[in-house]
């Protein structure tokens, strides 16, 4: 049965428009047209009452949510709970993210993602392996004891998903170029992160096919006058994408504005790097046997180091508008269209247009999520 979304302020292309109806049939948007042109008495009518209608958010880096850490619960049920928690904040597609771990945990995580997709768990579109091919000098809260260079068997394991997205964050200076190419040949999208690479090493990696940068500025060599480092390579390169964490803690707002000014429009997108406290009443969780606690929206270990975030994507959009000075339309694209382009999914995700998946988020005047749609299925978040 058709569903008509009416009385919304709809993000169509570059701007929000009023007076249009969005028609859904099953999992797809089939029409976006003037209200008068889409009159169908048999269609179910959802009155948005003046709310903003944006494409559903796509989060490339979700370590956990709803009290679940993917490393600690690499199962279909774990993925389901993580997705349900983030859906309340407008995320309609996500990559469960496995932090550096052993091969057995990686195998379990990949099997869980494969099964979750086969079972139709809402929102899951693949996996993000954040490590274990990282640099000890930029380990962050990762366990450096897990760091390694993959052999042929592990390359086959890391790229074993078929028909979905595999994103791998790695320190490219730690891997031979032939290994980078083998991972890509297996279908993986490669991003640089937790890296001590020089500018020249990063330039070599970009030429070898690295497509993006994971949480720009964090855990990578900084931009300096005589050594641009990984950050300088990211900002100088026009073709690569950069994920950013806009939580007011990971990166200063001025540095993020510099990135937006340096990169071509569309090459910077939002991620949460979210941990289990998102969508949960419990602020604490265990990572590598250590208790991490979220206090005032910041996840830290006992030594005070950042350990992921307590950020949700709706808050990232609000922060982008409030602290980075971008328009709501641009912030929404940073959370939907641009990650879809990075992941190669823009033909069916990230826009409100005929033929696209009916993955949508409804935002109130304060940019809080009112409702979401995943494949046309509505979930009411608040009245």
Does residue 257 contact residue 324 with C-beta atoms inside 8 Å?
A: yes
Asked whether the CA dihedral 145, 147, 152, 156 is positive or negative, the reply is positive
Of 59, 247, 273, 312, the active-site residue reads 273
Estimate the crossing angle of helix 229-236 against helix 253-262, to 10 degrees. Answer: 40
Which segments are annotated as binding site? 130, 141, 194, 215, 218-219, 226, 250, 306-308
Return all residues near 181 (Cβ < 8 A) that are at least 6 apart: 208, 209
What are residue 223's phi and psi, to 5 degrees? -80, 120
Known active-site residue 178: no
Residue list, annotated binding site for substrate: 141, 218-219, 226, 250, 306-308
CA distance 190 to 359: 26
Q: Which residues are annotated as a binding site for Zn(2+)?
A: 130, 194, 215
Residues recognised as catalytic = 273
């Amino acid at each position: 049965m058709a569903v008509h979304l009416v009385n919304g302020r709809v993000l169509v292309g570059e701007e929000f428009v009023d007076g249009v109806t969005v028609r859904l049939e099953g999992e797809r948007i089939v029409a976006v047209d003037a209200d008068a042109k889409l009159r169908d008495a048999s269609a179910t009518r959802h009155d948005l009452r003046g709310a903003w209608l944006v494409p559903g958010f796509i989060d490339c880096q979700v370590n956990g949510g709803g009290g679940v850490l993917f490393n600690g619960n690499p199962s279909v049920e774990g993925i389901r709970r993580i997705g349900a928690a983030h859906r309340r904040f407008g995320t309609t597609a996500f990559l469960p993210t496995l932090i550096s771990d052993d091969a057995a945990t990686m195998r379990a995580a990949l099997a869980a993602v494969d099964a979750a997709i086969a079972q139709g768990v809402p929102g899951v579109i693949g996996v993000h392996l954040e490590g274990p091919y990282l640099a000890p000098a930029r380990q962050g809260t990762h366990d450096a004891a897990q760091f390694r260079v993959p052999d042929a068997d592990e390359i086959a394991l890391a790229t074993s998903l078929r028909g979905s997205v595999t994103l791998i964050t790695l320190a490219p200076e730690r891997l031979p170029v032939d290994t980078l190419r083998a991972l890509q040949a297996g279908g993986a999208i490669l991003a640089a992160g937790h890296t001590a690479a020089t500018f020249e090493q990063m330039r070599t990696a970009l030429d070898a096919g690295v497509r993006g940068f994971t949480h720009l500025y964090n855990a990578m060599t900084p931009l300096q006058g005589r050594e641009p480092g990984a950050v300088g390579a990211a900002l100088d390169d026009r073709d690569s994408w950069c994920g950013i964490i806009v939580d007011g803690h990971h990166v200063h707002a001025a540095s993020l504005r510099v990135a937006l000014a340096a990169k071509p429009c569309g090459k910077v997108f939002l991620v949460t790097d979210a941990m289990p406290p998102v969508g949960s009443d419990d602020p604490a969780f265990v990572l590598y046997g250590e208790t991490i606690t979220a206090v005032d929206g910041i996840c830290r270990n006992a030594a005070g180091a950042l350990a992921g975030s307590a950020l949700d994507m709706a808050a990232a959009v609000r922060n982008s508008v409030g602290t980075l000075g971008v328009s709501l339309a641009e912030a929404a694209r940073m959370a939907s269209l641009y990650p879809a382009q990075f992941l190669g999914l823009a033909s069916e995700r990230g826009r409100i247009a005929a033929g696209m998946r009916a993955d949508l988020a409804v935002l109130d005047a304060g940019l809080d999520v009112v409702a979401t749609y995943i494949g046309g299925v509505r979930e009411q978040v608040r009245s």
